[in-house]
Amino acid sequence: MQKRWNILPVRETNIDSLQESLKINRTLCNILTQRGIDDYEKAKHYFRPQLTDLHDPWLMKDMDKAVNRIVLAFEQQEKILVFGDYDVDGTTSVASLYQFIHQLYSETDFYIPHRYREGYGISKMGIDFAKENGFTLIISLDCGIKSFELIRYAKTLGIDFIVCDHHLPDKELPPAVAILNAKQIDCLYPFKELCGCGVGFKLMMALSDKLGLPNSAYLEYLDLVATAIAADIVPITGENRVLVFYGLQKVNANPSPGIKALMQLAGVQKQMNISNLVFVIAPRINAAGRMDDARKAVQLFIEKDDKKALAFAEMLHSDNLDRREADSCITDEAMALIAADPNAFNRKTTVVFQEHWHKGVVGIVASRLIEAYYRPTIVLTSSGDMVAGSARSVAGFNLYEAIHACREHLLGYGGHFAAAGMTLLPENVQAFSDAFEKEVSRLITDDQLIPEIIIDAAISFTEITQSFFSILTQMEPFGPENMRPVFIARKVKDTGFSKIVKEQHIRFVLKQNNITLTGIGFNMADKFHFLSSQQPMDIVFTIDENEWNGEKNLQLKMIDLRLATDACNA
């Protein structure tokens, strides 16, 4: 698939002074200034994050109310229920706050709604469970900010709510005794991009301060917080960067039995980084809710015994194998449907529907189809008497607004710019599909239907040294708003030693200015003809380190290539 290359402009402002103060490569200084790191003090906080950089939790609106209500529950011997969503952010939030409170106060339990019986967020079933079992305080994590009616219902039953959430609030807030959410208009908390587990972490910080507990009381859960931040795709800037930086240290040095068990089953041999949390740990946690019951994810994280933790981890590992099989089968079936449709490639959307597809993986399948066809995609399946589905967008296109415009065909819908879900009647599937195609075709641009590669900087092979890579690795942890830098090198030639490996990949051996570097290009065998032509190429890549037989060498991790051009943007 042809891709657009977008090379970010060089920001000359402040580069000279930053290079003078840091004494590092100019290309790296350019990338830092692009990311807002334009003076020595900002660079110090960026390269050397400190736990003392974390903000005072009392700055968050309603933190005093939340802490006082929890302390009152302790004093009045009330039962406390810690409630969270079934995804990674929700289960890690519940596991950390539940353990923290339970160590102080035994009349505490937790609740995770079942994805298919109760749906996302606060559920009536969960509130009724609390009432039947004598709970008078519910602390919700990663959900609740939009649950106005359900929290009002709980209030009629004599149950108070503390809402810890990070999703965008509506104008009308639920009638909770305290709402911890930095995105509230009148909340002065400096950092707005905490995930749900991060908000729970700030509550633990405040409780520790109030009760005179050591910092270790809440720092113990940094590995869970880092996992939530990585999985929830929040910006890796500000407090999130600090929390992930130290959370990864805990993952690698002293992980909780649950994280350690997941790493063991995944066969992790090397140092864990944020990509491992996203692609190794998070899918196994999410699989519990997708395929079965996410409660066992919390049970895994609160288990202190290594053997018992491994047993829970094996359940999640098994769920993930089932999820992968379902994902693969449904993706193949969906692609066969598209290939059999003579009009499929004239459309600007993909909408596919089969009654038997597993509801838990349709969102993943939608993402897979975008990788193949790159257009707004909806995957639908039966859910009782209704049809339910998940939608995913391409970069820059507002999927939610397009679905909103087709709402007359839907029973319900929700989501945001890049992802959404919906329910509808079976007889309305075709009408909805046609309306969605019409609306997207009206709004989407041709450029938005071509994948874009954001390139941070041009670089020459002479700059790619071990010292350069050493500083590059100190820019970790990478993630949204601090992605791993992507480079372009121009007029590179093949040495004649490049070759196709395992019929799909290319092992590159390339030369520029008498400097030779090796690289790996996964699933790029179809581009080998560029090398065979012996013409100069422009290549796009990240820089990695390859370890073989105990030796470490720098290598290029190839993303794309084309015949050389002098154009800055193509």
Give per-residue pLDDT as tens, 533-544. 889 999 999 999
Name the residue among 482, 544, 469 with its Cα closest to residue 24.
469
Residues 499 and 426 in one domain: no
d(CA 80, CA 94): 12
Q: Name the nearest CA neighbour of 297 among 119, 96, 140.
A: 96
Residue 46 lies in a domain: no
Picking from 65, 292, 255, 280, the residue whose alpha carbon sits closest to that of residue 178 is 65
Query: Exposed (0-12), middle (13-18) or buried (19+): which is 455, by Cβ within 10 Å?
Result: buried
Q: Are residues 369 and 456 in the same domain?
A: no
pLDDT for residue 568: 41
Domain boundary among the residues 255, 284, 316 is at 255
The verdict on 389 and 441 lying in the same domain is yes
Evaluate the omega torsion of the peptide bond into residue 9 and state whether it is cis, within 30 degrees of 0.
Answer: no
Pair (212, 162) in one structural domain:
yes
Task: Please give the average per-residue pLDDT across 322-345, as a whole number.
Answer: 94
Each residue's pLDDT tens digit, 389-430: 999 999 999 999 999 999 999 998 888 888 889 999 999 999
From 226, 255, 284, the end of a domain falls on 255
The answer to whether residue 231 scores a pLDDT higher than 80 is yes
**Is 381 part of a structural domain of the chain?**
yes
Regarding whether 159 and 86 lie in a shared domain, the answer is yes
Tokens of 280: 């190794």
The dihedral formed by the CA atoms of 464, 467, 468 and 473, expressed in degrees to the nearest 10? 120
Q: Which domain CATH number covers 468?
A: 2.40.50.460
What are the tens digits of pLDDT across the range 140-192? 999 999 899 999 999 999 999 999 999 989 889 999 999 999 999 999 999 99
Q: When comparing pLDDT for 421 and 56, which is higher?
A: 56
Predicted local distance difference test score (pLDDT) of residue 567:
42
Confirm whether 466 is domain-assigned. yes
pLDDT tens digits, one per residue of 60-102: 999 999 999 999 999 999 999 999 999 999 999 999 999 999 9
Tell me how many helices (H) and strands (E) the chain has: 21, 19
Residue 566 pLDDT class (50, 70, 90 cuts): low
Q: What is the CATH number of the domain that holds 233?
A: 3.90.1640.30
Q: Are residues 486 and 547 in the same domain?
A: yes
Tokens found for residue 97: 């706050």
7 falls within a domain: no
**Domain match, 531 and 427 both:** no
More confident residue, 283 or 13: 283
> CATH number of the domain that 386 lies in?
3.10.310.30
Indicate whether 80 and 207 sit together in one domain: yes
* Residue range 353-374, pLDDT digits in tens: 999 999 889 999 999 999 999 9
The dihedral formed by the CA atoms of 129, 131, 133 and 135, expressed in degrees to the nearest 10: 110
Residue 2: the pLDDT is 83
Residues 384 and 470 in one domain: no
Cα separation of 378 and 369, whole Å? 9
Range of the domain at 363: 341-449
Residues 444 and 459 in one domain: no
> Does residue 89 lie within any of the structural domains?
yes
Q: Within a domain: residue 19? A: no
Average pLDDT, the chain: 94
Q: Are residues 355 and 384 in the same domain?
A: yes
Q: Does residue 138 contact residue 83 with C-beta atoms inside 8 Å? A: yes
Phi, then psi, of 167 in degrees rounded to 5: -80, 160
Residues 440 and 531 in one domain: no
Instruction: Determine the pLDDT at residue 233.
Output: 86
Q: Is the pLDDT of residue 521 over 80?
A: yes
Q: Per the structure, how many domains does the chain have? A: 3
Alpha helices in 254-291 (DSSP H): 257-265, 274-276, 282-291
* Domain end residue (candidates: 421, 449, 477): 449
Residue 480 lies in a domain: yes
Is the residue at 348 inside a domain?
Answer: yes
pLDDT digits (tens, 9 = 90+) for 190-202: 999 999 999 999 9
